[in-house]
Amino acid sequence: MIIALSALCVVSGLLGLTAFDGTAATAVALCTVGTLCLAARLILRKAFKDRRVALAAFAALTVAFLALSGLTGTMERDLAKTAAAFSEVDGLLGSGRAEEALERLVELRKDGGHQDDNTEICLREFKAYRLMSNDYKALQSLERCAKFKDVRYFMAFASAQLAEGKQREALDTYMEAAALYPLYHEAQLKAGYLCFVRGEYTRAAHYLLRACEIDPQDPHSLFFLGSVRYAQGRYPEAEGYLLRVLETSADGTVKGDARSMLDSMPERGD
């Protein structure tokens, strides 16, 4: 049993190192724990009858641990460098410098050895091509990372569908994201909003209630949920949500819309 668990630790650690996804410290720990357990097992079984052999074994373990620690440090530095590069690209995209961002992404893909379907790169390429009004290449970039089902992929894809006037398809994409990521606020909110504008009030309430549970202070979730209840004729509930918008929102537009809806609400008893 000890040998099996130790082997599992070592293999898991090596897989973590191979993945190169920021789990290097955990990988090193697993490798080390597994190797130490194996050595301890051998010692307990008196496999090391010669003290010199035992010392040599522990010396080898020490060297292996130091080597893995050094590898961890290198990997963490590389990860920090990559994160800084992505931050630079985000800054370029934020300032509308799409062509420069694409050039930097090409360098990242080449220098970092990233695969063509790297989600971080593909999503940024999508934004860059959208800024350049090249929808065809933007969608090509998205398609390369679709298989990973990253929630940001769904958000980007739905926005592209809306830009093409495909509201029903966009709603399906938002609902898929909401199902896969039930704690992702934006997916719940946008699925609920599209259901609302399409007149699907029961379904809209389902998503907007979930959005309010995730972020009870979000004025947009509260406003649209209040709007749904208003459309359903459930005025006391609508009033409660709209009043919460007035209490919590710093957005003048949303507060103004909430006041207008409250003013147009039928008097109780009417």
Tell me: pLDDT of 260 over 50: yes
> Residue 88 phi/psi, 5° resolution?
-65, -45
Is 114 domain-assigned?
Answer: yes
Q: Locate tokens 């992404």: which residue?
A: 105
Residues 15 and 56 in one domain: yes
Structure tokens at 237: 């509930």
Domain end (from 53, 80, 107): 80
Tell me: pLDDT of 60 over 90: no
Give the whole-angstrom CA distance, residue 41 versus residue 264. 78
Tell me: pLDDT of 256 over 50: yes
Residues 104 and 137 in one domain: yes
Q: How many domains does the chain have?
A: 2
Give the whole-angstrom CA distance, residue 168 versus residue 120. 27
Residues 101 and 75 in one domain: no
Give the whole-angstrom CA distance, residue 126 versus residue 145. 11
Q: What is the pLDDT of residues 129-176, one digit of tens each?
A: 999 999 999 999 999 999 999 999 999 999 999 999 999 999 999 999
Cα 25 to the center of its chain, rounded Å: 22
Mean confidence (pLDDT) of the chain: 82
Is 48 domain-assigned?
Answer: yes
Residues 3 and 49 in one domain: yes
The listed range with the strongest mean pLDDT (23-27, 44-48, 50-54) is 50-54
Residues 105 and 56 in one domain: no
Per-residue pLDDT, 58: 59
- DSSP designation for 267: P
Query: Which domain range does residue 121 map to?
Result: 96-145
Per-residue pLDDT, 111: 76
The listed range with the strongest mean pLDDT (1-10, 183-192, 242-251) is 183-192
Please state the rounded mean pLDDT for residues 3-26. Answer: 48
Give the whole-angstrom CA distance, residue 108 versus residue 145. 16
Q: What is the pLDDT of residues 209-223, one digit of tens each?
A: 999 999 999 999 999
Please state the rounded mean pLDDT for residues 180-206. Answer: 98
Extract long-range pairs of 189-192: CB within 8 Å, 24+ residues apart. Answer: 189/218, 189/220, 189/221, 189/224, 190/155, 190/158, 192/221, 192/224, 192/225, 192/228
Residues 55 and 28 in one domain: yes
Tell me: pLDDT of 67 over 80: no
Per-residue pLDDT, 232: 97
Q: Locate tokens 């966009």: which residue?
A: 170
- DSSP designation for 147: G
CA dihedral 134, 136, 140, 146 (to 10 degrees): 100
Tell me: pLDDT of 65 over 80: no
Per-residue pLDDT, 109: 83
